[in-house]
Amino acid sequence: NAGVTQTPKFQVLKTGQSMTLQCAQDMNHNSMYWYRQDPGMGLRLIYYSASEGTTDKGEVPNGYNVSRLNKREFSLRLESAAPSQTSVYFCAGRRGVGEQFFGPGTRLTVL
């Protein structure tokens, strides 16, 4: 039982390049989330998916797209990366009323 897994762990992109961050969970969570974490800013919600087939914007969605491929997988795509998107990205799944369980993160640098 791996919990929430994320790939890749590290990534360096050039401005304008695209990439997809992958997230998978084996905890049977209906809801999944993508956050970014910047120094001194805490965790900010990018997008979430309340259930398979639905996605909604969070606090900071600009420059990102998401896909809830199935119940297990929720991917985050950067179509044209910008230096402002340099951050650590966390995926999470939700159990019960509000408890969220996080993956190990993807550390992204955009040059």
Partner 1 sequence: GQQLNQSPQSMFIQEGEDVSMNCTSSSIFNTWLWYKQEPGEGPVLLIALYKAGELTSNGRLTAQFGITRKDSFLNISASIPSDVGIYFCAGLTIAYGGSQGNLIFGKGTKLSVKP
Q: Phi, psi at residue 85, to the nearest 5°?
A: -95, 5
- Of 19 and 45, which CB lies nearer to partner 1 in the complex structure? 45
- Of 17 and 102, which CB lies nearer to partner 1 in the complex structure? 102
What number of residues does the chain have? 111
Q: Which helix (H) or strand (E) holds 68?
A: strand 65-68
53: left (phi over 0), alpha (psi -120 to 50) or beta: left
Q: Is 41 in the site for partner 1 (CB under 8 A)?
A: yes
Give least dist CB 50 to partner 1, A. 5
Out of 19, 43, 60, 69, the only residue in the binding site for partner 1 (CB under 8 A) is: 43
Residues 56-85 vs partner 1: string with x where CB under 8 A? x-xx--------------------------
Distance CA 11, CA 24 (A): 18
Give least dist CB 102 to partner 1, A. 4
Residues 6+ apart with CB under 8 A from 57: 47
Q: What are the residues binding partner 1 (CB under 8 A)? A: 4, 31, 40-45, 48, 50, 56, 58-59, 90, 92, 97-105
